[in-house]
Amino acid sequence: MIMHETLYLGYAAGIITTLAFLPQAIRILRTRQTRDISLLWAIAMNIGIVLWLFYGILKNDLPIIVANAVTLLLLLVILYSKLRYRQE
C-alpha cells in the first residue's frame, strides 16, 4: 500500500509544480512581455528539468518523467519567448 501512496504523492507534487508554470507561460504568450523573466533563470531551469527528466527515465519513475516532460514544454515556451521577444 505504501508503494501506491508514494506514487500518488509523486503525481500530486508533479502536477502542482508543473501547473505553477502554466500561468506564467500563458501570460507571456498573451502579452509577449518577458522583461521580468531572467534569461539565466530560464536557461538554468530548462537544463535542470532536462536533467530531472533523464533521472526519471533512468529510474523508470513515471511521475518524475511525466511531470518533467510537461514542465519542460512550458519552460521551453518561456525560454523561446524570452529570446524571441527580448527586443520588444
Structural domain spans, the chain: 2-84
- Give me the pLDDT at residue 61, please: 93
Q: Which amino acid is at 9?
A: L
Task: Tell me the C-alpha distance between 46 and 78, whole Å.
Answer: 10
Task: Tell me the C-alpha distance between 86 and 88, whole Å.
Answer: 6
- Give me the pLDDT at residue 86, please: 80
CATH match for 2-84 among 1.20.1280.290, 1.10.1060.10, 1.20.140.10, 1.10.645.10: 1.20.1280.290
Half-sphere exposure of 29 (CA within 13 A, CB side): 11
Phi, psi angles (nearest 5°) of residue 66: -65, -50
- Give me the pLDDT at residue 2, please: 67
pTM value?
A: 0.88
- Give me the pLDDT at residue 1, please: 54
Q: Which ranges of the chain have pLDDT less than 70?
A: 1-2, 87-88
